């Protein structure tokens, strides 16, 4: 295991276990999975390790229950996915009180054992849960960052590839704002093979894809009865890569804003330079007047949820 990074994933449910396997497949980290349910993390760890024989990565995943947090000590990155997912008919914001208690408890356990870690928050409502993790850990803003924008952008890019018939690898898009139905797909910064999207697709079709992206999480909840995990797990693992490998990638992440984009003291999705220091820099993107207006609406929606928190 020498020279390996250490990554802890808290919550060994759908998103957590998927993220843990994605990270294990990269083969650069020891992975610790933690879950409050007895034996769940140990069972998932065993299964992921055994898949390594087939897929070609080392069996370095360890699974523990809530009495085993010591195994997470000295982690470079901790991904927090613990908490309830929504069910059909619910909004992410309906989870706020229950998940605040869970995320606060988990963050307390993690922060005292991994004082230098970067925390990647996944639990919903995402922007609010980032506030909870920052308030409880007292880590600097760079080291508490949320995963949502990569997922929302992936949805938008997937719809664009399907609409244009062009490879998703050629699509470059970004989705900013809070991780709620008021999120902001930035059409002005979206290209396919370098060609602006509005030169390839009609305004009406773009509007339809934008609206579908904004409710993309809910579309899956309706189909599955619980929320998505393959794309969220992969998105969280991409953030783990950027941090562990100090990649300095510019990715849409949820960062604590202090004046950037005209927003202060609030977690929101923005392009971030992600490296070993966490959210090392907020990258400024020029938005149209309409996009700025959408971002303001999204900000108001996030503030409404944050103000009900005890830890903010």
Ligand X SMILES: O=C(O)C[C@H](O)C(=O)O
21 binds, among ligand X, ligand NAD, none (CB under 5 to 8 A by kind): none
Residue among 81, 137, 174, 190 that touches ligand NAD (CB under 6 A): 81
Which one of the spans 17-25, 67-75, 183-191, 224-232 is the region binding ligand X (CB under 6 A)?
224-232
Residue among 136, 221, 266, 272 that touches ligand X (CB under 6 A): 221
If binding is defined by CB under 6 A, does position 5 make contact with ligand X?
no
Rounded to the nearest angstrom, the gap between the alpha carbon of residue 227 and the centroid of all alpha carbons in its chain is 14
Residue 61 dihedral angles phi and psi, to the nearest 5°: -90, 135
Distance, in Å, from the CA atom of 176 to the CA atom of 268, rounded to the nearest integer, reads 8
Residue among 60, 137, 227, 238 that touches ligand NAD (CB under 6 A): 227
CB of 193 to ligand NAD, least distance (A): 27
**Which of these, 52, 28, 11, lies nearest to 247 by C-alpha position?**
28
171 binds, among ligand NAD, ligand X, none (CB under 5 to 8 A by kind): none
If binding is defined by CB under 6 A, does position 92 make contact with ligand X?
yes
Other residues' Cβ atoms within 10 Å of the Cβ of residue 2: 3
Q: Convert residues 167-206 into a mask of x (bound to ligand NAD by CB under 6 A) and - (unbound).
A: ------------x---------------------------
C-alpha dihedral, 237 to 240 to 241 to 247, nearest 10°? 140
Q: Tokens 């609030």 correspond to what residue?
A: 266
If binding is defined by CB under 6 A, does position 124 make contact with ligand X?
yes
If binding is defined by CB under 6 A, does position 130 make contact with ligand NAD?
no
274 contacts 242 by C-beta, under 8 angstroms: yes
Residue 68 assigned ligand-binding role? no
If binding is defined by CB under 6 A, does position 106 make contact with ligand NAD?
yes
Toward ligand X, which CB reaches closer, 131 or 179? 179
DSSP 250: E
If binding is defined by CB under 6 A, does position 42 make contact with ligand NAD?
no
Which one of the spans 46-54, 77-85, 242-250, 289-297 is the region binding ligand NAD (CB under 6 A)?
77-85
CB of 236 to ligand NAD, least distance (A): 8
Toward ligand X, which CB reaches closer, 63 or 178? 178
Give the residue numbers annotated as catalytic, written as ranges.
179
List binders of ligand X among 126-155 (CB under 6 A).
Answer: 151
84 binds, among ligand NAD, ligand X, none (CB under 5 to 8 A by kind): ligand NAD
Toward ligand X, which CB reaches closer, 216 or 271? 216
Q: What are 55's two structure tokens?
A: 């897929």
β-partners of residue 185 are: 175
Distances from the Cα of 157 to the Cαs of 47, 54, 60, 273, in angstroms?
A: 32, 31, 33, 20
Helix (H) or strand (E) run with residue 6 in it: strand 5-10
16 binds, among ligand NAD, ligand X, none (CB under 5 to 8 A by kind): ligand NAD
Q: What are 279's two structure tokens?
A: 């959210």
Residue 264 dihedral angles phi and psi, to the nearest 5°: -130, 140
- Strand blocks (E) in 133-277: 144-146, 171-172, 175-176, 184-185, 191-192, 195-196, 249-258, 264-275
Beta-strand pair 118-121/77-80: parallel
Q: What are 15's two structure tokens?
A: 């998103």
If binding is defined by CB under 6 A, does position 128 make contact with ligand NAD?
no
Rounded to the nearest angstrom, the gap between the alpha carbon of residue 32 and the centroid of all alpha carbons in its chain is 18
Annotated binding site: 11-16, 35, 86, 92, 99, 122-124, 155
Residues making contact with ligand NAD (CB under 6 A)? 10-16, 34-37, 40, 66, 81-86, 95, 99, 102, 105-106, 122-124, 126, 147-148, 151, 179, 226-229, 232
């Amino acid at each position: 295991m020498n020279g390996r990074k250490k990554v802890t994933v808290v919550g060994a449910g759908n998103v957590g276990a998927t993220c843990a396997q994605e990270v294990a497949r990269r083969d650069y980290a020891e992975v610790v999975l933690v879950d409050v349910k007895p034996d769940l993390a140990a069972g998932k760890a065993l299964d992921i390790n055994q898949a390594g024989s087939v897929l070609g990565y080392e069996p370095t995943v360890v699974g523990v229950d809530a009495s085993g947090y010591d195994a997470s000590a000295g982690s470079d990155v901790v991904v927090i996915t613990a908490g309830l997912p929504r069910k059909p008919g619910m909004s992410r914001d309906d989870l706020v009180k229950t998940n605040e208690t869970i995320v606060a408890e988990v963050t307390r356990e993690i922060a005292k054992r991994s004082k230098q870690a970067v925390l990647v928050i996944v639990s919903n409502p995402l922007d609010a849960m980032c506030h909870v993790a920052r308030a409880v850990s007292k880590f600097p803003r760079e080291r508490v960052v949320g995963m949502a924008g990569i997922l929302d952008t992936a949805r938008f890019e997937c719809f664009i590839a399907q609409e244009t018939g062009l490879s998703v690898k050629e699509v470059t898009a970004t989705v900013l704002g809070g991780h709620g139905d008021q999120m902001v797909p930035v059409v002005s910064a979206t290209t396919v093979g370098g060609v602006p999207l509005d030169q390839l697709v009609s305004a009406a079709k773009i509007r339809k894809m934008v609206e579908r992206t904004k409710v993309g999480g809910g579309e899956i909840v309706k189909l599955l009865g619980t929320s998505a995990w393959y794309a969220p797990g992969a998105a969280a693992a991409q953030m783990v890569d950027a941090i562990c490998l100090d990649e300095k990638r510019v990715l849409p992440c949820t960062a604590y804003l202090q004046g950037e984009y005209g927003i202060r003291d609030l977690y929101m999705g923005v392009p971030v330079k992600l490296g070993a220091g966490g959210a090392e820099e907020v990258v400024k993107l020029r938005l149209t007047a309409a996009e700025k207006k959408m971002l303001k609406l999204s900000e108001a929606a996030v503030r409404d949820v944050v103000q009900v928190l005890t830890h903010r």
